[in-house]
Chains A and B, each alone.
Chain A
């Protein structure tokens, strides 16, 4: 693999860290994703995120039409073990997963508990495109007043997420990535409202 396990991963981490600490900020990891030369069947940026975050200490769940194949690949690359969505530390929802699969995974994901809210799932979602020109207005820590985002995927994620994160500090943190290897993070603290036209 052309990917530099030290420096490419470090650069991708800093971009992800930037995106997580400033929700609404769209970071790009194309330079790192282009160095992935395995035919994974998911976005290269997703592979970079898996290599950055996963190892033997954590578990994951892949939600995809080709779940078995993808799970085997992630396991081979990172040595992380596949698990049921209720117990998985990381859930990968790939772009071939249907809207129902996304809904199911969001509902099943572990939100942590009040003593250990950090034991919640991080969900990595592949979407068609990410942008800042959308009709979702976000506020919360990391955002100067407010920011706008556009996430081209099934519409229901906003409501399911809100339901899931109702009892802060419990909740799920989401990392969106798209086919241009952009990254957008929505931690549990971010409040999302839909802009109403009219």
Chain B
């Protein structure tokens, strides 16, 4: 039997077991649902619903009503006290009192504050103009000033922002997926070791066949999971109108996937190696900590990009370093033109890191698998592999 055939048998078992696992499908369904809902919720908040503020006016402040226009719903009150009571009772958001004062329960919302001040200024200026003998019919015309127009020099600004957010969200999704399948790999390796199945397996295959089979098998299962999630997420995002140009989303998605594959290889190998160091599945959490932490560092880049710090040097460095580049580079590529040599170097460094890791990792894995008693030290596992 060739190497490929052996790896295929190992991988097929992993895929079948994953696909038959209820937990696998429940986690897919729950994550997909959460993502779809989060897009729905975002749209809802952005739309704001019927968010018109309610304002109470006392006496002469009723003059503000036409100036506020449709920016607030205005009610009149007899005196300051009834208006204050209405604020306390939550009937209105703010009351403009007789002595040019605004009463709010705790804080004046910024938008409402601006609207009230503008209305107050307009009414005041109209009064001053009238005082200077300007006929009432001319006042609105004199007070109307065309607002400054903003012109966006980058015609794609919105698209770039959407792409960046999409890439950031995608990376987070893949991060979760990697975390879940990474833990599954570590747990699976530890279980095989604890139940001594590994002895039967090693009588038939080499450790690296097992490692490669696990990585490809669980990788394929993760891919299925990801496609289901991506379909659900993209449909929801496009459905809720998050993207102006759905083709951008698909392009960003494809690029993410391209970078995810080497990232996945790197981390899953680390998780498998970590799993081979423990003797009991319960101890897995103790050894995957450092791998989880390294993965968390990967999220820094996307977070910087999404929060607008796109020219950060940290982000540029993270997009080149193996272990974090899988997450940062596709996000960078979503908002700027990255030089081809940077892309090539990041990919090359990643490939190099994987090659070294698989070589060293499979030695630790080999040595770790047949040593028992607590958590095996990496040094002892390497020494064990030489034996």
A complexed with B? no
Which residues of B are interface residues toward A (Cβ below 8 A)? Answer: none
